[in-house]
């Protein structure tokens, strides 16, 4: 058989490559974004209890109603913003599936989607597989600031969607209130949909506030928000996320969702719903991860890496320009094979593989792991 690939330029992700390399060389893996410590036993017990209580058949297509109510209550508590639990919230198989369904529901051949790079690697292939065209806007280290005049020039009659991500993976930066207001202004009186990837909403540092799309009235009317319980509750392997959006848009989202996965793991949904009755389960994440960020940065303060502290997410970008001029992919691989520590090179997320001589390290690890990692980084 012969066929033309719909994604001819897509290969194995850098996350798979670097994790495999780390396993082969028994390296400390600070590459892929997952914790190496356990989830809260209380949450695990609640999911087990749900299984033992009979929550083992299909959940409703839109998700367990108790969980959707818990999500709705969270938005009311945190942002004083309302999403109707029956009409405007859908539980998904992780945030990636939510992103896929949003794009698939609205992007048609030759539609344009503006994407800010470096960008999480599922965005552009999903646009392409639906026949759309990604319009990149390249951001640069160390600040990764948006030039809103450039954004204005990229908007055209073909622009169907703008995809944003704050707190931002992989850079660890956050968007300001002014950024969101600029986006709102540029999209008003248009048919442009905004897809706001907010999976790290509960991980923002130094008393900053997460600027959710739902905080801006006009922006909220055209926006989907995608989120991840895996990131929030330290259980990425469960692949439970959700999507919020206005009823008119959510109707179209669910048309794709029902034939993509229909519904997701029911006992996990029930367990998370019960767990979220205590708001401290997610409100305490900022302090938890700031302690880890601060520990990691203090441990490598004597290293040759240049640092701008992460503003959010559980990733820290380190500038290695004073160490070597190697291409970041080559240096990341050498760090893994020769020094025993794995990271992620940012060029793979950039337009034309722009190399800013920076690597991304995940600090969602035990303190013991961070101490061992810092000992290696300080020797480089």
Query: Per residue in 296-350, pLDDT tens?
Result: 999 999 999 999 999 999 999 999 999 999 999 999 999 999 999 999 999 999 9
- Measured CA to CA, the distance from residue 36 to residue 303 in angstroms comes to 24
Average pLDDT, integer, range 78-87: 97
SS3 345: strand
Return the DSSP state at 365: S
CA angle 44, 267, 365 (to 5 degrees): 35
Query: Which numeric CATH code is attached to 41-281?
Result: 3.40.640.10
- φ and ψ at residue 94, rounded to 5 degrees: 85, 165
Q: How far apart are the first and last CA of the chain?
A: 50
Q: What are the residue ranges spanned by the domains of the chain?
A: 14-32+284-377, 41-281
Helix (H, G, I), strand (E, B) or coil at 133: strand
Task: Tell me if 14-32+284-377 shares its fold with 41-281.
Answer: no
Digit-coded pLDDT (tens) for 133-171 = 999 999 999 999 999 999 999 999 999 999 999 999 999
Contact 81, 105 (CB under 8 A): no
| Closest C-alpha among 93, 286, 127, 108 to residue 208 | 286
> Do 14 and 345 contact (CB within 8 A), yes or no?
yes
Topology, domain 14-32+284-377? 3.90.1150
The residues near 225 (Cβ < 8 Å, ≥ 6 apart) are 196, 198, 212, 213, 214, 243, 244, 245
What pLDDT was estimated at residue 9?
85
């Amino acid at each position: 058989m012969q066929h033309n690939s719909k994604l001819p330029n897509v290969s194995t992700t850098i996350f798979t490559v670097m994790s495999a390399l780390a396993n082969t060389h028994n390296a400390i893996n600070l590459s892929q974004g997952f914790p190496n410590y356990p989830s809260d036993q209380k949450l695990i017990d609640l999911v087990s209890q749900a299984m033992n209580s009979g929550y083992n058949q299909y959940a409703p297509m839109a998700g367990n109603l108790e969980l959707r109510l818990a999500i709705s209550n969270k938005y009311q508590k945190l942002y004083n913003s309302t999403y109707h639990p029956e009409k405007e919230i859908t539980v998904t198989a992780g945030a990636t599936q939510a992103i896929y369904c949003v794009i698939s529901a609205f992007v048609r051949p030759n539609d344009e989607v503006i994407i800010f790079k470096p960008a999480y690697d599922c965005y552009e292939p999903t646009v392409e597989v639906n026949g759309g065209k990604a319009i990149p806007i390249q951001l640069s280290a160390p600040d990764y600031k948006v030039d809103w005049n450039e954004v204005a020039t990229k908007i055209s009659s073909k622009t169907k969607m703008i995809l944003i991500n704050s707190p931002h993976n992989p850079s660890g930066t956050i968007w300001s209130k002014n950024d969101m207001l600029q986006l709102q202004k540029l999209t008003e009186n248009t048919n442009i949909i905004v897809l706001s990837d907010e999976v790290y909403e509960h991980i923002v540092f130094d008393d900053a506030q997460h600027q959710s799309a739902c905080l801006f009235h006009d922006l909220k009317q055209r926006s989907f928000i995608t989120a991840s319980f895996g990131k929030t509750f330290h259980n990425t392997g469960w692949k439970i996320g959700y999507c919020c959006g206005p009823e008119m848009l959510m109707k179209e989202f669910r048309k794709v969702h029902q034939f993509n996965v229909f519904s997701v793991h029911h006992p996990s949904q029930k367990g998370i719903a019960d767990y979220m009755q205590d708001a401290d389960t997610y409100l305490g994440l900022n302090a938890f991860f700031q302690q880890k960020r601060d520990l990691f940065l203090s441990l490598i303060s004597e290293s040759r890496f240049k640092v701008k502290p992460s503003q959010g997410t559980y990733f820290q970008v380190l500038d290695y320009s004073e160490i070597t001029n190697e291409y970041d992919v080559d240096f990341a691989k050498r760090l893994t094979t020769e020094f025993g520590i794995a990271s992620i090179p940012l060029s793979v997320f950039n337009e034309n593989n722009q190399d800013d001589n920076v690597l991304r390290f995940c600090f969602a690890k035990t303190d013991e792991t961070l101490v061992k990692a810092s000992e290696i980084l300080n020797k480089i």
